Amino acid sequence: MNSHVKHLFAGGILLFIVVLSFGTVVADDADLVDWDKASPSEIHQRLGQSKAEALLDQQFYRKLMAQEKGVTNQTAYDVLHYDIEMRINDTTEWIYGRVGVTAQVLDNFLQIIELDLLSNMIVDSVTTDSSQLSYSRNGDILSVDLGRAFEPDEQFTFDVYYNGHPSEGGFQGFSFDTRVTGKVMSSLSEPYFARSWWPCKDRMDDKADTYSIAIEVDTSFYVASNGTLDSVVNPLGNTHTYYYSVSYPMVTYLFSLAISKYTVWYDEYVYNSGADTLPLVHAVYPDWYSYSLPRYGETPNMLAAFEEAFGAYPFRNEKYGHANFEWGGGMEHQTMTSMGGSSFGFSLPVVAHELGHQWWGDMITCETWTDIWLNEGWASYSEAVWTLADEGWSAYRSYMNSMAYTGGGTIYRADTTDVWSIFHSGLAYDKGAWVVHMLRGMVGDSLFFAGIDAYYNSEHQHGSATTEDFKNVWEAATGWELDFYFDQWIYGTYRPDYDWAWLVEPSDSTGYDLYIWIEQMQTSNPQVFTMPVPFVVSYSGGGNDTLKLWVDQDEMFLRANVPSDVSDVQLDPADWVLKYESEEAFGVRLITMEDEVDTATQYTPYSYALEAKGGDTSNYLFVLSGGSLPQGLTLSEDGVISGTTTEVGDFSFQAYVTDNAKLGADWRTYSLTVAEAEGIPGDVVSDGSVNVSDLTYLAAYLFSGGPDPVNPNTADVNADCSVNVQDLTYLVAYLFESGAEPLMGCVQP
């Protein structure tokens, strides 16, 4: 017997032991793919498809969602406990059940309670303290009259007795299946299927604190479910009852059953330096038993990796394990993941994915299906965390690149009326994982794990969270303002597309000046991504540096002083940013960007030099190739904008530069603002005109102790930065001898 397999005894009774090993494995459609060699994206597509395929009747689904929006009563009470008893008849395929509901009234006086239960399931009675309660059915809503109005904070309890064959096809959460080893009865209730087989408040935003579960089946079957298996009671008959207790909060869609003639084997995860153990229970199809051993056998190692990265396993007082079922794919049922009974259900990435869900999806559940990436994106990233722990950084980067989603659409799934939209594998799974990965690259490991720790220990622990809740926790923990990040990566589409080039030259001061030109070419929303982009700089004499430069415009020049000559520059070779990138030859480029052109002032001499780099630096030729400069300003061939203008306003012009050797050319459109001057040159009196009174005022100031000019620069008409007799002479010539127009002076205050 394999060393992993242990016997489980309770009360002196051997609960279950079946050890069968077949030489061949039964194949199904999933086995047409070698899942050990499949890419993460292929695996996620299968996972998302398996969940979405369960809901084929979209018309019924939309009707259900419309109905849910009209149900407001459910927000008025909080479910504290579900007490679930079921007798499942594998022959008649019928469920007989009792569900006890204990809840607390929140903020309204409440007498009518609304539960979700599909109309095909038969309600026999609703009771409390052995008394009958009135109830009514309205479509798929069960309304229970508590008999009186309960006040806020009061608790109430009632039992719903029901029976029926769960719906099949379009809206199905429980199935009766048959395979080569016999009957398989199992559930998959995500996203809204719990109501198809048991009455409950089937919502994301209310986890019952505890569950009691009792399942009666034929003695040939093993029952896998959530929480702790307390006992198996076998009266003198052909059925036995499995009693499970769940001591952690759990959302309704995570309550699960998997019932079959399994081979059950046991393992353990040892932690706290050997002081504590977590039981691991694996209920597998007999023909997959040997195949399961090395794969599910990695669970302890994965637990160790995830505990180091995420925090303690959230359900340490219970267990973890796997149970095969016929739904295909995998489903992260709390403490007992359900796995498709094909090679896919034993694939190591799938094992890691579903285990990661125990933190992200089970302990903290997305509050609405619009935020499904909080479940699936983090679980997909968990696969990469396991790869890093098992194989190192190179394998981690390769794994992330294997799920680099290229399509459009937002990670935030606004349309939850379409189940295919909810479980979009490229967005919720792949790009969702990249959001986590890029967050790590952006804030660095120290803050990244501080953010995880804060989220793990937040008010959302064993509760639910929205994307905004997640963002708020991470902002507080890291000190980063993250609106820009979520706006572009969660609510925006696609990815940045960088064209870039670099140039290095000796610095005028010390070392070398490195110039990096980068332009964003995407036309989708956002057209401009804001990201810290790493550039790895390799030096001619050996060694390298990483420069993390903020790219937040459609086109930028980034300048850095480096200590040595540069042999190569690479844009984000470790792939911390989801992107396209294309390196170009630097050629000749204008490195003066639009916001670097200084503002001019009316009547004031102006000079500003455009700057170019690359090509033959000995002789650049600048020309005005479009638009216009303000009257009085010109662009010289060496790139200097100069002159004095009387105009005011915003002006747009295009400058073109080429080098003497014709190695390249560049052009750029600039905006130049001319601000209105304070006063008119020569208007010493400040009365809005230049005339003899200004001469008289200036002469009195210079020779008779007259008052100072209101604005000295209106009196410095020759712009020599002082007010003296030369200005008087200049002004006389202008007024009486057709001399040059007055200039705005440059007297320092």
> Based on the number of CB atoms within 10 Å of its own CB, is 29 exposed (0-12), middle (13-18) or buried (19 or more)?
exposed
Q: Above 90 in pLDDT, residue 194?
A: yes
For range 183-204, the mean pLDDT: 94
Position 71 scores a pLDDT of 56
Residues 123, 183 share a domain: yes
Residues 6+ apart with CB under 8 A from 260: 181, 182, 183, 184, 185, 186, 221, 222, 283, 285, 324
One domain for residues 204 and 277: yes
Strand pairing partners for 578?
Answer: none
Would the pLDDT of 259 be above 70?
A: yes
Q: Are residues 697 and 649 in the same domain?
A: no
| Burial category of 25 from C-beta neighbours within 10 Å (exposed 0-12, middle 13-18, buried 19 and up) | middle
Instruction: List residues bridging with 200 in a β-sheet.
Output: 116
Do 653 and 526 sit in the same domain of this protein?
A: no
Instruction: Work out the pLDDT band at 644, boundaries 50, 70, 90.
Output: confident
Contact yes or no for 634/640 (Cβ under 8 A) = no
User: How confident is the prediction for the chain on average, in pLDDT?
Assistant: 90
Domain shared by 113 and 189, yes or no: yes
With CA atoms as reference, report the closest residue to 695 among 717, 663, 673, 676. Answer: 717
CATH number of the domain bearing residue 528: 2.60.40.1840
The better pLDDT of the pair 64, 462 is held by 462
Does any domain span residue 452? no
Round to whole Å and give the CA distance between 501 and 582: 9
C-beta neighbour count of 6 within 10 angstroms: 17
Query: Residue 173 sits in a domain of what CATH number?
Result: 2.60.40.1730
Helix (H) or strand (E) holding 511: none
Does residue 290 sit within a domain? Answer: yes
CA neighbours closer than 13 Å in the CB half-sphere of residue 297: 11
Confidence of residue 678 (pLDDT cuts 50, 70, 90): confident
Structural domain that includes position 622: 594-675
So what's the pLDDT on residue 530? 97
In a shared domain, residues 668 and 691 = no
Residue 305 lies in a domain: no
Please give the model's pTM, rounded to 2 decimal places. 0.86
Cβ–Cβ < 8 Å for 467, 549:
no
What CATH number should be reported for the domain holding residue 662? 2.60.40.10
pLDDT at 65: 58
**Domain-ending residue, one of 643, 675, 707:** 675
Partner residues linked to 83 by β-bridges: 100, 212
Query: What are 639's two structure tokens?
Result: 């790139």
The neighbouring-strand residues paired with 360 are: 364
125 within some domain: yes
**Coil, helix or strand at residue 357:** helix
Residue 307 lies in a domain: no
Q: Is residue 309, in this structure, part of any structural domain at all?
A: no
Residues 562-587: tens digit of each pLDDT: 999 999 999 999 999 999 999 999 99
- The CATH number assigned to the domain holding 706 equals 1.10.1330.10
Residues 68 and 198 in one domain: yes
Residue 447 lies in a domain: no
**667 shares its domain with 696:** no
Quote the pLDDT of residue 66.
57
Last residue of a domain, one of 650, 675, 700: 675
Is 105 part of a structural domain of the chain?
A: yes
DSSP 699: H
Least confident of 160-164, 190-194, 323-327: 190-194
**Together in a domain, 58 and 116:** yes
Which pair of tokens denotes residue 712?
A: 């000295």
- The pLDDT tens digits of the residues spanning 135-148 come to 999 999 999 999 99
Domain limit, last residue, from 653, 675, 697:
675
Report angle CA 388, 40, 417 to the nearest 5 degrees.
125
Considering the domain architecture, whether residues 93 and 128 belong to the same structural domain is answered as: yes
Strand partners, 609: 640
- Return d(Cα 188, Cα 456) in angstroms, integer: 26
Question: Are residue 566 and residue 605 in the same domain, yes or no?
Answer: no
Q: Does residue 186 contact residue 100 with C-beta atoms inside 8 Å?
A: no
Same domain, 39 and 178: yes
Number of domains in the chain: 4
